[in-house]
Amino acid sequence: MPRWRFDRVLHRALPLVVSRDEDDAVVFVGFDNETGAGMAALERFAAKHGADLDPEDGPSPAREQLIEYLDGHRRTFDLPLALLGTEFQCAAWNALLAIPYGETRTYGSQAEAIGRPTAVRAIGHANGDNPIPVIVPCHRVIGANGALTGFGGGVDVKRWLLALERTPDHPPDWTPEGNSARHSSEQLGLF
């Protein structure tokens, strides 16, 4: 049975849990909170893939790079990834990896990028099933009209991540209530 290591990213703005497989490839990033939702999601994901979980014995490279990104000091990740999904999902997730930092694409353009221009809804579902958000940047995909549509971490988190990428030298403050990163799509430069 494979053994995955996990680490908590206790960042002031966005607590996460991250897991790596036996080959050190990132397999999962989950949005954590005081109820342990991220850890619970990781446990379900690991069980689905027949993996046992062990805590990291020190800070992982994934944790370090996620903190650098959330602090506005990293624009790309240099981590091996293990995309665990269907062929279609993996194609959709690989298309996400091609979206540059600070830019957005629509679901339609993502569908076109994988040669399936009519699969817009399926792209939305694949993005929703992305097990490595933030690193595999599904937050960079918006509706055709510029709307910040669904996101596993919530639309406020998506808005915050996009604002972070627009102003990395001045990361926006994050408060769950009354999120100060509230900007319109026009202010975020999505049009």
Q: Could you count the other beta carbons within 10 Å of the beta carbon of residue 172?
A: 20
- Give the active site residues: 138
Burial of 13 (0-12, 13-18, 19+ CB in 10 A): middle
What tokens were used for 14? 């966005």
Amino acid letter, 170: H
How many other CB atoms are found less than 10 A from the CB of residue 185? 17
